[in-house]
Amino acid sequence: MKIKLNNQTIICKNSKNVLQNAIGLMFQINPRPILFNNIKTYDLVHMFFVFYKINIIFLDKENKIIEQKILYPFISFKKIPKNTNKIIEIPLYKKYRQFKKIKSIKYF
């Protein structure tokens, strides 16, 4: 799926099932960003076995940014805010380092 972040287009992996939601970016090296749709049952995002910083963006049903936060490897976690419908996890290694602060999001 293509997403435009701060007027730059990136290709995002789309999480399709509960297992992919649970694994997320764990154990991956140099992954693409991931989009999680229809977030309902999860109440926490963790960084266990994630080897790099990520920017996590919480979106509502209208794709407006509710909150975003940078999480750090192995030690961080974040409670999912109310009214979150989608989550985008952007790994902050060299290729995506410019996405530390997101101001606008558009979907293709």
User: pTM for the whole thing?
Assistant: 0.88
What distance in Å separates the CA atoms of residue 97 and residue 105, rounded to the nearest whole number? 17
**Span 50-58, mean pLDDT?**
93
Percent pLDDT > 90 in the chain is 47
State the pLDDT at residue 105.
85
Q: What are the φ/ψ torsions at residue 47 (nearest 5 degrees)?
A: -120, 20
> 69 with 46: CB under 8 angstroms?
no
**Residue 16: which CATH number?**
2.60.120
CA torsion sign, 76 to 16 to 19 to 38? positive
pLDDT-based confidence at 41, cuts 50/70/90? low
**Span 58-70, mean pLDDT?**
93
Range of the domain at 13: 2-107
Domains: count for the chain: 1
State the pLDDT at residue 42.
67
